[in-house]
Amino acid sequence: MTGSVRFCHLVDVTRYKLQAVARANLTPYQQTSGAPVTGGLLNPITIRLSVMMFLQFFIWGGWFVTLGTFLGSAFSAGGGEIGQAYSTQSWGAIVAPFIIGLIADRFFNAERILGVLHLVGALLMYLMYSSSGFASFYPYVLGYMIIYMPTLALVNSVSFRQLTDPAAQFGKIRVWGTIGWIVAGLFISTIGWDAQQAVADGALRNTFLLCSITSLVLGVYSFTLPATPPVRAASQSVISQALGLDALRLLKDRNFAVFFISSVLVCIPLAFYYQNTNIFLTEIGVANPTGKMTVGQMSEVLFMLLLPVFLNRYGIKKTLLIGMAAWVLRYVLFAFGAEGSALVLLISGIALHGVCYDFFFVSGQIYTDSKAGEQYKSSAQGLITLATYGVGMLAGFKVAGLIFDQYAVTGGHDWKAIWLIPAALAAGVFVLFALAFKPESIQRSGT
């Protein structure tokens, strides 16, 4: 994260992009050798797209989760530098619309751009693997995230254009991305790269080599994927739509403005999880920390299935509040689990990731989709993405880095104090939203 995002990803607007595809009645690209996907999981195209998704998120999960732990151990990086490195995800999210809007949507096949970006990414990953200090490492990770974040949209584009019914078929393909992230984490823990002594010996450096090789494989593989030519007319204002500028008028609606501000603010405590959790678990001596963190991705799948039930029964406001309350509870569990390394509290906090992400961010995307109307759906999603994964997460990583350094103690950190701060921040956003957001019904697309 995914995510997805997981950043990415942060971050998953995929369900709503595929709804936009269906609403626009885009005809899947017809290959000369056959028709778009109409069958099940064993359809050859479905298998090829699933492999693409698996590799795409294996790469991200294979290094991003342990980045902070690696930087602290290998380069003696402080919280500020670790936050700076994680902030490259936000810079990538900000730049991605320009790459997609100016290039992919206009001039070149999506699968070819995907291949080129991953081949360049393989080189940058190797340079990260070879870096001897943070000063040389940072330009490479910044460059990598600027070219990686656009690939999240490209793999979606390649998939959508081969499907006859994206709304029904895409989930079976996208789930392989989550599986890829989980496998990456389990692999790192199984091979022992995240064990305390292995971290001290620099074993986490190997994650960059692993992901460099995987990126090389995906780069080459991408050129074998079904042709996905551009479909957008060059005269359309794709940048203003991707950045959400067309949807700024939605902020005149009180409820949407409250939701928008809350979404930005809640990304500050969110950044603490991405930046500090692996460092935290490793430092307090939890075995196989990266593998244990995959429980969060597993819970995402479960709670995604439960989300429609909660929306129907409790409505959008209560569902969003449940998501925010889960952030408070998660950090409280981490704070008290840090004392004596109470594993049951720590695993419970990680398992809440599905509630935290699905019930706030995915529900929020549904709410945004319903408020925007047909004219501003894509722009509204772009606005929320820019505000959260761009502005909100940038601020969050900065704050998380400062707090990390502030509570450094001999031999480690005062983790109880560190985790209670994002718990208090999330509680503040919860109260703001509960008081200012008025209950309302939403009309979901397709209902």
Report pLDDT digits (tens) over 361-377.
888 888 887 887 766 66
pTM, rounded to two decimals: 0.83
Q: What is the pLDDT of residue 231?
A: 65
Q: What is the pLDDT of residue 163?
A: 80
Residue with tokens 């502005």: 391
Q: What is the pLDDT of residue 167?
A: 64
Q: What is the pLDDT of residue 62?
A: 96
Q: What is the pLDDT of residue 368?
A: 83
Q: What is the pLDDT of residue 16?
A: 38
More confident residue, 96 or 35: 96
Q: What is the pLDDT of residue 7?
A: 39
The pLDDT tens digits of the residues spanning 145-204 come to: 999 988 888 888 888 888 877 767 777 888 899 999 999 999 999 999 999 999 999 999
Distance in angstroms (rounded) separating the CA atoms of residues 232 and 238: 9
Q: What is the pLDDT of residue 22?
A: 35
Dihedral, CA of residue 234, residue 240, residue 243 and residue 245, to nearest 10:
-160
Domain spans of the chain?
Answer: 14-436
Q: Which residues have C-beta within 8 Å of that of residue 343, sequence separation ≥ 6?
A: 286, 337
Region for 341 from its dihedrals, namely left if φ exceeds 0, alpha if ψ lies in -120 to 50, beta otherwise: left
Q: Which residues have C-beta within 8 Å of that of residue 177, sequence separation ≥ 6?
A: 2, 53, 54, 56, 57, 155
Q: What is the pLDDT of residue 336?
A: 94
Q: What is the pLDDT of residue 157?
A: 80
Averaged pLDDT score across all residues of the chain:
84
Q: Which CATH superfamily does the domain covering 14-436 fall into?
A: MFS general substrate transporter like domains (1.20.1250.20)
Q: What is the pLDDT of residue 371?
A: 82
Distance in angstroms (rounded) separating the CA atoms of residues 182 and 186: 6
pLDDT at 438 over 50: yes
pLDDT at 1 over 80: no
